[in-house]
Structure 1
Amino acid sequence: MDPSSGGPCQGIRNLVPALQSLGVEDEVVCLDDPIRTEDPFPIHRIGRGAGPWAYSAALRPWLDRNFERFDAVIVHALWLYHSSAVTRAIIEHRKQHAKTPKLFVMPHGMLDPWFQNDPSRRLKAYRNYLYWKLLENRVINQADGILFTCQRELELAREPFRPYRPRREFNVGYGVAEPPEFSESMREQFQQKCPQLEGRSFLLYLSRIHPKKGVDNLLRSYAQLAKNHSGTLPPLVVAGPLDSAFSRQMQALASDLGLTDESDGGEVAPPTVYFPGMLQGDAKWGAFYGCEAMVLPSHQENFGIAVVEALACGKPVLISKQINIYQEIVDDGAAIVDEDTEEGTLRLLRGWAELSNPQRAEMATAAKSCYTNHFLPEAAAKRLVAAINESMAGAIEENWRHDRVVAGVS
C-alpha cells in the first residue's frame, strides 16, 4: 500500500470508503514493511516480499488463519508471488472447509497486450509467457470472477494469452474519491516544492517517471514547441519519484534540451521544466488546482487515477489514446487526445496552446462534469457489490454484505 508503488494502492483507498458506506467491511493484507498510516480500514503489513517475484513466507500462513472471516477475496495485480499464492490457498481451503470465500482478481491493466508487444519488453514478455503457462493462467481461469476498471481493459485482456477462459468478466469501473476543496495551504505547499512558479500558470505531468509514460516524448515535443511557438509557453512540471535510473535520465534529457538552464541573471528563463519529485497531500492538490491542464502521453495506461483526479479538480487533460478511459473523457469535451508518439504529443501541446481562454474555460467546466458523470467511487462500489453478489450463485446480498472483503495486494 505504498503510494509510490503506483495506482492500485490509491485505487483501493478510493474504493474502500465507498464500500463501507454500503455496509461492506474491508481489510487489506499486503507485502509492505510494518508502518502506521492513517487509513480508515485495517491494513495487515506482513513484511516486504523477497526478490523480483516478491516471495513472502508469511502470506500463506496469514491466509490460512484468516480465510474463514471473509466472504470474498480480491487479488489486486498479477505476475508476482501473491496472486498464485492466494489462488492455491483458496483451492486447498475449499477441499477442507465448507465455508470458503469467493475469489476475484483485479488485473489493473496487467493483461494489456502492450506489455507483450512493446519491443523494449521482449525479455519480460517471454518471462510473462512462461509464467502464464506455469502459474498465472490458473489465477485467471480458476477465479470466480475477473474485475475490470473499464470496458476497454476487459476487451484487451482477451488478446495476449492462451488459454484464457475466465468464469466471469465484470466491468465494475473504478472510482476516484472527490478531492478536498481548494485551500490556501495547498497553494503554499506546492509553492514550497516549486518556488519559481509563484503566480505563474503551468502544465502538469503527475505520475511515475517510467518508460511507459511517454515522458521522453513529452520533453522533446515541449522543447520543439518552445522553439517554434510564437507565444509564451507555460512552464512544465514533471512530478513523480526521482529515485529511479529512468527519472535521472529524463532530468538529463531536459537539461540537454535546454529546458532547465538558467539565464545569465540567475533567473530561470521560461519556458522551462521543473522536477519537484513526488507530490503528496496538499502539495499534490495544489499542483492540480494550480495547473492549466494535465498532460499524460502514456504508451499504456489502464485507467489513470491522476487523470481522473485532474478532472475532479476541473482541469482539462491532454492524453494519449493508449489511456483506456480516453473515449469517455473526449466524448464529454474534457480532453485533447492523440497518439502516444512524439508527433502526437506535440499535437497535444500545440492544440492546447492554440485554444482561446473561453475554449479553455469551457473544457474546464466539462472536466468536472465528466468526473461526476463517470468516475464517482460510489458507482464503482455498487457495481463491485453486484458482481460479488452475482457470483454467490443466488445468495442473498444481505448474507454477506455486512461481513468482510479482504483485498490481497503486492
Structure 2
Amino acid sequence: MAKRYLRVMSTLNPESGGVVTAVSESVNFHNENTEDVFDIVCFDGEWQSKGECGKGDVYSFRSFSGYRFSLSFIIWFWKNCQRYDAIIIDGIWQFFVFSGYLAYIRRVPYFVFTHGMLDRYFNRFIFKYLKKLPFWFVVERNVMQLARGVIFTTEEEFESSRLSFPLFIARDVYAPLGIEKPSADKISVGKELFMARFPQLEGKAFSLFLSRIHEKKGVEILVDLVGEDEFSEQLLVIAGPDDNDYAAVIKREIGRRGLSDRVVWTGMLKGDIKWGAYSLADVFLLPSHQENFGLVVPEALSVALPVIITDKVNIFNDVIKYSCGVVTKDNSDDFIAGYRRWLEICQMQGGMKDSAIKCFDDCYSQDTAAEKFLTVLGGGGQNVSAS
C-alpha cells in the first residue's frame, strides 16, 4: 500500500549546499520510482506547487529572520500532518524543528535528519555554542528524544554528534545520501559547455575542487598545494559561489604568491556543465576540516573520477575500502603528500577509475540510498529502480 511522507526543510535553493541537492534528488527519485509519495515543505516565500517534485507537492511558507519563524506553517502543519504516514524534519537549529512537538501530540511518527548539524567541529565557535544551548534544552534535545528515529548518514557522524551537547538521547538510525548517475548524453553536453566557457583549460590537466567556498572546506590547503613547483603542470579549478569574504581572502593569497595563472575560478556550476567539469578533471579534491557526508564525493565517483579527501570527510572509510582515492589528514603537508601518492599510483596502476565506479554503485547510487531510506521509515526496504 502506498504511503505519503512529508519532508520539512529550510530552503530549496541549491546554492545553500549539498543537503538541498540531496533531499531534492531523493524526493524526485522516490516519487518517480516507487509507489510512495513525498511532499516538501520549505520557507522560500509564500507559494504552492502541485507536482513540483514528480507526483509530490511543494508547500512554501513566508518566514521571518534566519530562524525561519512562520506562524502560517504551524497552523498548516497542525491541520495537515495527519495526512502523512511519517514526517522527516531535515535539519535542526531552525523554528520548523518545533513541528516535531506537534507531530508527537498528533501521534504522527516523525524522524529528524541532522545532516551533520550536531558535529563537534562547530563547538569551537564558543559564542554560537552558548547561543544554541537554550534552544537545545527547550526544543532540539526533546524533539530528537521523542522522534521515531534520528537519522545519520554514517556511524562517524553519530559518534561525533552524540557528544556535542549535554544529555543527548535518541534512537540512532542510518541512511546514506545518494545521487543519480548522469547519463552519457548529459556528460557529453556538459563537456562541451565547460570547454566553451573555459577554453583556457583545453588540453590541460587539472584538479577539481567543487563545493562551497567556506573555511571548513580547507581551501587554504589547496593554495599550498598549487604553490608546489612539482605540480606546476596541473592546474587547479575552484568551482563554487566565490562572492564571500573567505573566497576574497583566498584570492588575495593566491595573487600575493603569484599563483593566479595556476588557478581557474568558475563560480557555481550546476546542471550539465557541472558534470562536464567532473568528467574532464583528473582528480577531485576535498581537503575539508569537517564534512558530514560530502555529496560531491559520490558525484565525482559516479563519473569514475578518483578523489583525494581528508579523514574529516565522514565517508572516508569507503574511499579506503574501495581504493578509489587517497585519504589524508586535514593539513597542507599531509594533503600534498597524498597528492604525490595519487600521482605515483596513476603512473604505476593507471588510475582508480574502475574502483571509483564500483564504490559509487555499491554505496551511493539512488537505488541503494532509496532502499535504505525506506527501510528506516518502515517501508520494509521495498525494491526501487530508476526508470
Native 8 Å contact 1:251 1:275 kept in 2 = no
Partner SS for 2:15: helix
What do the CA deviations read for 1:52-106 (whole angstroms, capped 9, x no partner)? 312223321221232122110000011111112x1132134x2xxxxx4211010
Native 8 Å contact 2:152 2:172 kept in 1 = yes
1:6 positional shift: 1.0
Matching residue of 2:184? 181
Native 8 Å contact 1:150 1:174 kept in 2 = no
More deviation in 121-130 or 210-219? Answer: 121-130
Kindly tell me: are residues 60 and 38 of structure 1, through their superposed partners in 2, closer, same or farther at Cα, counting changes over 3 Å? closer
Instruction: Trace 1:33-112 onto structure 2 (pairs within 5 A).
Output: 33=45, 34=47, 39-84=53-98, 86-92=99-105, 94=106, 100-112=107-119
Amino acid at match of 1:54: R
Kindly tell me: are residues 35 and 299 of structure 1, through their superposed partners in 2, closer, same or farther at Cα, counting changes over 3 Å? farther
Work out whether 1:25 is the aligned partner of 2:37. yes
1:39 positional shift: 4.0
1:330 to 320, 340, 345: 320
Instruction: Trace 1:274-313 onto structure 2 (pairs within 5 A).
Output: 274-313=264-303
Amino acid at match of 2:305: K
Distance 1:45 1:358 in 2: 54
Matching residue of 2:246? 246
Kindly tell me: are residues 48 and 216 of structure 1, through their superposed partners in 2, closer, same or farther at Cα, counting changes over 3 Å? farther
Relative CO higher for 1 or 2, CA cutoff 8 Å, sep ≥ 6? Answer: 1
Distance 1:358 1:3 in 2: 39
1:323 positional shift: 0.4
Native 8 Å contact 1:240 1:276 kept in 2 = yes
Partner SS for 1:276: strand
Matching residue of 1:151? 155
1:214 positional shift: 0.3
Work out whether 1:123 is the aligned partner of 2:145. no
Matching residue of 1:192? 196
Kindly tell me: are residues 234 and 43 of structure 1, through their superposed partners in 2, closer, same or farther at Cα, counting changes over 3 Å? farther
Amino acid at match of 1:44: V
Matching residue of 1:321? 311
Matching residue of 1:169? 172
Q: Which runs of 5+ in 1 are unaligned?
A: 95-99, 261-268, 391-396, 402-410
Instruction: Trace 1:391-402 onto structure 2 (pairs within 5 A).
Output: none
Kindly tell me: are residues 192 and 124 of structure 1, through their superposed partners in 2, closer, same or farther at Cα, counting changes over 3 Å? farther
Kindly tell me: are residues 35 and 189 of structure 1, through their superposed partners in 2, closer, same or farther at Cα, counting changes over 3 Å? farther
Distance 1:385 1:377 in 2: 12
Matching residue of 1:404? none
1:46 positional shift: 2.2
Kindly tell me: are residues 17 and 39 of structure 1, through their superposed partners in 2, closer, same or farther at Cα, counting changes over 3 Å? closer
1:15 to 26, 35, 38: 26
1:278 positional shift: 0.2
1:171 positional shift: 1.2
Amino acid at match of 1:345: F
Distance 2:259 2:306 in 1: 24
1:125 positional shift: 1.9
Amino acid at match of 2:139: L
1:356 positional shift: 3.6
Native 8 Å contact 1:74 1:104 kept in 2 = yes
Partner SS for 1:217: helix
Native 8 Å contact 1:238 1:276 kept in 2 = yes
Distance 1:56 1:247 in 2: 33
Native 8 Å contact 2:37 2:56 kept in 1 = no
Kindly tell me: are residues 48 and 296 of structure 1, through their superposed partners in 2, closer, same or farther at Cα, counting changes over 3 Å? farther
1:358 positional shift: 4.9
Kindly tell me: are residues 43 and 293 of structure 1, through their superposed partners in 2, closer, same or farther at Cα, counting changes over 3 Å? farther
Native 8 Å contact 1:30 1:43 kept in 2 = no
Runs of 4+ aligned residues of structure 1 deviating over 3 Å after TM superposition are 33-39, 353-358
Instruction: Trace 1:311-390 onto structure 2 (pairs within 5 A).
Output: 311-361=301-351, 363-389=352-378
Native 8 Å contact 1:233 1:353 kept in 2 = no
RMSD of equivalent CA atoms: 2.2
Distance 1:114 1:354 in 2: 33
More deviation in 12-21 or 304-313? Answer: 12-21
Native 8 Å contact 2:362 2:368 kept in 1 = no
1:15 positional shift: 1.9
The count of aligned residue pairs is 367
1:44 positional shift: 2.6
Distance 2:102 2:330 in 1: 40
What do the CA deviations read for 1:168-190 (whole angstroms, capped 9, x no partner)? 21112222211222543211211
Q: Which runs of 5+ in 2 are unaligned?
A: 1-11, 383-387
